[in-house]
Amino acid sequence: MEIDPRRLRILYEVARRGGVLRAAEALHLTSSAVSQQLAQLEREVGLPLIDRSQRSVSLTPAGRVLAGYAERVEEELAEAKRELTRFTERLAGPVRIAAFATVIKHILVPALRELAVRHPRITPVIHEIYGPPALQELRLGSVDVLITEQDMGLPALSQPSLSTRLLYVDEYRIVLPPGWAEPAATVTDLMRCPWVASLPSHATGQALDRLAGLHGFEPRKVHLVTEFDSALALVADGHGVAIVPTLALLDVPEGEVLVSDIREVGARRVDVITRVGRTRSGEPDPVQAVVIEAIEEATAALEASLRGRLGEEKPVSGR
């Protein structure tokens, strides 16, 4: 009998949250997908796991037993890994990290370089994925460490099954085409400008909507993009103004766009999220812990570099 551990996690969430719908919401899956995975798990074990005779879905006795094992299996595997690490006194193995482009380029690449020196037997695996799909992969165990962004105006993700720590606060900047005869110098000027906007679900999209709401105008969104490189290219060619985070400006050639002195646009928070370990020792996974430590050190080095280049209070200019 072979049981897919991802389906075990789904069964555990159904048991924990008292139904398919709540489990689907927690896992960012559709109810149909959860039901299909449960049906496949029933075929794998050869027993009914879900009692469908009642209006509300509940587990059969066999389902409750298997859900209990699902939690214990995760606990025991994590504890075994921890004990083996102590026994060998070596840190080794893959760590799957989900992140987005600016963090991969400016934080993860330096972190991986340092990890290779300190812990050559650790194998980081980078997945460029973000948003709800990345969170789903973290919950299902396909990703170990998630680096995600969120507008600072929203509350930080807080759930018992996840551990969230702030990694970096990335200030937003307004960028303007260099060829405009009269570049916008105030928020009032921005009200008349065409915008290269992000999706409303993205952090910079939320920042634009917040800025417009605070100052009482409806932004004229002539272009809608998902990547900062696309936004910067459109701005550089004169198609509108945009909000981008400071990290997106680090490699922009001097003079390609103008960076406005308008501040107080807000910022995005960059968080590191991991699953909460349910082990007897209560300690974090040692391999993940050193990876996160390297990421935090790379972030601190980046912040120090930015302070040195830009000055503690000086606005970004020319980049």
Q: Of 289, 276, 284, 283, give the one whose Cα is nearest residue 16.
A: 276
- Which own/partner contact pairs does 56-64 have at CB distance under 8 Å and 24+ positions apart? 56/19, 57/14, 57/19, 57/20, 59/11, 59/14, 59/15, 63/11, 63/15, 64/15
Q: Is the pLDDT of residue 279 over 60?
A: no
**3-state secondary structure (DSSP) of residue 249:** helix
Contact 250, 224 (CB under 8 A): no
Please tell me the predicted confidence (pLDDT) of residue 275.
85
Please tell me the predicted confidence (pLDDT) of residue 23.
83
Q: Is the pLDDT of residue 255 over 60?
A: yes
Region 104-131: mean pLDDT is: 93
Distance CA 174, CA 146 (A): 27
Q: Is the pLDDT of residue 9 over 90?
A: no
Q: Is the pLDDT of residue 67 over 90?
A: no
Please tell me the predicted confidence (pLDDT) of residue 128.
94
Q: Is the pLDDT of residue 169 over 90?
A: yes
Q: Is the pLDDT of residue 298 over 90?
A: yes
In this prediction, residue 316 has a pLDDT band, given cuts at 50, 70 and 90, of very low
Distance CA 290, CA 92 (A): 11
Lowest mean pLDDT among 33-47, 49-63, 155-169: 49-63
In this prediction, residue 314 has a pLDDT band, given cuts at 50, 70 and 90, of very low
Contact 9, 72 (CB under 8 A): no
Hey, which residues does 98 pair with through a beta bridge?
A: 127, 146
What tokens appear for 306 in the block? 């930015």
Distance CA 56, CA 247 (A): 48
**3-state secondary structure (DSSP) of residue 92:** coil
Q: Is the pLDDT of residue 89 over 60?
A: no
Distance CA 37, CA 86 (A): 36
Region 219-225: mean pLDDT is: 95
Residue 316 per-residue DSSP state = P
Q: Which helix (H) or strand (E) holds 195?
A: strand 194-198
What tokens appear for 280 in the block? 């007897």
Please tell me the predicted confidence (pLDDT) of residue 82.
65
**pLDDT top residue among 49 and 297:** 297
Please tell me the predicted confidence (pLDDT) of residue 166.
93
Please tell me the predicted confidence (pLDDT) of residue 282.
45
Q: Of 266, 267, 262, give the one whose Cα is nearest residue 316.
A: 262
Distance CA 162, CA 151 (A): 19
Region 56-72: mean pLDDT is: 81
Contact 216, 238 (CB under 8 A): no
Report the chain's mean pLDDT, rounded to a whole number: 85
Region 136-143: mean pLDDT is: 87
**pLDDT top residue among 89 and 98:** 98
Q: Which helix (H) or strand (E) holds 79?
A: helix 61-88
